[in-house]
Chains A and B, each alone.
Chain A
Amino acid sequence: MTQPLAGLSSTLRILGVLILTAGCGSAGHGSGDHNAGHEPAPPGMTAAPDHAGHADHADHADHADHAGHEMHGLGATAGPGFTVDDVRFMQMMIGHHAQALTMARMAPTHGAGRDLLTLAHRIDISQRDEIGLMQDWLRERGQPVPDEEQMHTMEMPGMVTPEQFAQLDAARGSEFDRLFLTFMIEHHVGALQMVDDLFANPVAAQDSDIFRFATDVAADQLDEIGVMERMLERLDPSSRSNSR
């Protein structure tokens, strides 16, 4: 499940870089617009997109802009039983998960509390394995797998900004816990939005594996948001009166 990325051929890495387009635009575009997923599918997507193998990138770019995030520039094509949106979802969720791992692995060195250590450890194991699952899914379908550099430069909803990262890295103890939970909740909300965006395409996610995976990600992270909100409340009981 978790083959090292180093196993990827260098040609694929180069190919990935070549395909990288100017799609990565304004940083932080995704934050603050997370409820878009509750809206009906964008008009451009109500017509059934390609399901038989002719990728329609323009159409997708349209959709991506509407949904509040950018194309990441990796190549993606449809194939038997899966759509371009399915491929893009898997590629982008790898980047999204990678950032969660980076955050989770800060917990032991930043004086995180016991509860947060448990949570961070679970996120570490879960999302690392899920990255392996997504990589396998893409490879089995002959789709580009984002390399380390690409996954750290993608733009997705809920991503923590470099400024926020610096803030988190400077924090210790309960201040670290508070920032971690605050940022991770937004990060998870972003993942929910990515699943919503995928499902907004009525013919996407029909492949059993991606359907199961996307549904599990949404269910897990929705619950984990509840868990983190409880933890945040324990940390700072007065937060209950704050409006969210």
Chain B
Amino acid sequence: MTEHLRSSSDPVFTDSAPASLHPVRSTVRRTLAVALSAGVLAVLSPLSAEAQTQNTPSLDDPRVGLAAGPGDTAEEAALHMRLVSLSPKPPEFDSAQGLTYINSDLAFRGNYVYQGNFSGFMIWDVSNPESPTLVNTTVCATDQGDPSIYGDLLFISAESRRSRNDCGIQGVEDVADRMLGVRIFDVSNPASPRLVKNVQTCRGSHTHTLVPHPTDAGILYIYVGGSSGVRSEDEMPGCSSGTVDENPETAQFRVDIIRVPLANPEQSEVIGYGRIFEGLAPRGSRGGPSGCHDLTAYPELNLVAGACGSYGILLDASDPERPVRLDAQADDNFSLWHTAVFSNDGRSLVFTDEWGGGTSPRCRATDPMELGGNTILRIDNGRLTQHAYFKLPAAQTETENCVSHNGGLIPVPGRDIMVQGWYQGGVNVFDFTDPDNPFEMAYHDRGPVDAETLVVGGSWGAYWYNGYIYSSELSRGFDVLELEPSEFLSENELAAAKLVVMEEYNPQSQPKLVWPAAFPVVRSYLDQLVRNQGLPAARTSAISEALRSAEAASGAARRDALNRLAGELDADAGRATDADRVRAMAAAVRDLANASQ
């Protein structure tokens, strides 16, 4: 292996064996003490599944060796997950012309799913997930077409140099026609979207993130993500580049902020920017983070997590026009901090590393688990601490672009569970309740689009929305998947997840998940306490019986039974090894009692 690596006269095109790698950092192993002192709900994993200990993706997995094919012709493998439907791309985007017509991210509102494409977007009606219907296809060159929905307004990122003010796909000859930034469409009539404004920015918009005004419902802010080159002064007056030292007005090393007056979206404009990278690179540096690939807002907590080049960054956005950096985390194993997902309690963050930009195979049996996967950070008083890595455990081929990509939470009470797309590595679901021991719970994967050459495809992002998992397939179309109960997920936990109904969901503007008062919610905690032995078996059996009996009753009798149970649980908490979970269950039982009036 060393032999091969040393040979500089080797053709550069053959595979080399991996050099010995930087071992997993010690922060990853330092743990229980920190977690215990944090005194949070998720001290103990609700499952005792094995964390990832492998150094590279495994060749011993049902996902290995799947036959290739475009569309629905590839062989599939699935665990605890069912493919409900695959809707092919509309003819407008049905082209294998490199990246020009690939699908991108998703946004959700009511029965509609908004799917971005490098050359426009689609609106799907998913009232029947077995058979989504295409309501509209809008052709509009953008690259990459990252979508967000807010009421009747659909926001679309435009970054490509071929992107035009008039949405044409013929390319740009005169820079006056160029549109780089965020497009705003009125989709009040989903069958006929109307372009109401192109907000131009100096570096275009690779992604964008909605940050609602904390108090004024009439104002929406948009944080613009992206690290593209700066447009010339000729093309857009006021745009210039360089380091902050040499040019304080530089459009690099900043995050642009757009203000949208919701009653007059045509008046939307860039109102400023956040210089949130100051001090991260050595003084006088010509490098370091110059923008965020993506930012994830958690408006409930006024936090924003920025995945910004070589750093994961935590921002306080209490004043959205002046975000303040709380902390930043670097990791030499992470090449491109790409996207973040908060746990629902805001105490953990999953960061993804899009090593290779998404068009390269990075899940081969030789690609290390610390590179091109996820890492989990804990947030304590605004400070970040790095914990374990998690990567797709099954090896993929040379012709499958694969790396960590977008996802979101699955609303199971008492646990942190995420569904994620890994491009041609497929979709998987993993638990990160214990930030030191994340583990995989379910997956769906297809063979490569093509067995001989790398044809870009796979899941751009996969998200749970009102009971189903929706995945945007770059080349094949639009997938709907359904999670199934398993040894990793009880029927009660799945039922509780399905009780969470969102009116609107933009994965990069995370909503706080709230569960209704319901028996499956209470029983989810109970199932978790049985699994992790957080309470003695005699107690969990008795609680189960008490719940059965309360459910059989009604009105005041049910209420009284539940209040009695809640009191017992308070006492249990004092003796339990997972006291926080018992307390959470007691609170859910009280909610249920109050709902039984």
Contacts and interface: CB of A to CB of B under 8 A. Distances in A.
B335 A208 contact: no
A131 B285 contact: no
Contacts, number: 217
Given A208-B160, A244-B284, A40 B228 contact: no
A189 B243 CA distance: 13
Instruction: Give 10 closest A-B pairs by Cβ, nearest first.
Output: A225-B287, A226-B288, A223-B309, A118-B22, A226-B287, A206-B162, A219-B227, A216-B357, A109-B6, A208-B99
Given A81-B171, A109-B2, A223 B229 contact: no
A224 B310 contact: yes
Nearest to A221: B287
Contact of A46 (B19, B159, B234, B284): B234
A40 B332 CA distance: 34
Interface in A187-220: 188-189, 195-196, 199-200, 202-209, 211-213, 215-216, 218-220
A105 B143 contact: no
Interface in A24-69: 38, 40-41, 46, 48, 51
Contacts of A125: 18, 362, 367, 371
B12 A136 contact: no
A219 to B, nearest CB: 4
B21 A118 contact: yes
A101 B8 CA distance: 8
B8 A226 contact: no
23 contacts: A1-B398, A6-B11, A40-B232, A102-B8, A108-B20, A115-B22, A115-B332, A119-B332, A124-B5, A125-B371, A129-B360, A136-B453, A202-B234, A206-B160, A207-B98, A212-B357, A215-B159, A223-B310, A223-B335, A223-B336, A224-B310, A226-B280, A227-B287
B278 interface: no
A207 B19 CA distance: 35
B169 to A, nearest CB: 10
A40 B281 CA distance: 26
B277 to A, nearest CB: 9
A79 interface: no
A1 B361 contact: yes
Interface of A: 1-6, 38, 40-41, 46, 48, 51, 81, 97-98, 101-102, 105-109, 114-115, 117-122, 124-126, 128-133, 136, 148, 185, 188-189, 195-196, 199-200, 202-209, 211-213, 215-216, 218-231, 233, 240, 243-244
Contact of B361 (A98, A115, A129, A196): A129
Interface in B319-359: 330, 332-333, 335-336, 355-357, 359
A226 B14 contact: no
A228 B282 CA distance: 10
B485 interface: no
B287 A1 contact: no
B498 interface: no
A148 B398 CA distance: 22
A233 B357 CA distance: 28
A206 B310 contact: no
B19 A107 contact: yes
B272 interface: no
Nearest to A110: B6
Interface string B203-235: 000000000000000000000000111001111
A109 B283 CA distance: 32
B399 interface: yes
A50 B432 CA distance: 53
Contacts of A124: 5, 16, 19
Contacts of A228: 287
B143 A2 contact: no
Interface in B284-298: 284-291, 293
Given A41-B232, A130-B360, A222-B288, A230 B282 contact: yes
Contact of B336 (A131, A200, A220): A220
B5 A108 contact: yes
A219 B143 contact: no
B332 A105 contact: no
A106 B309 contact: no
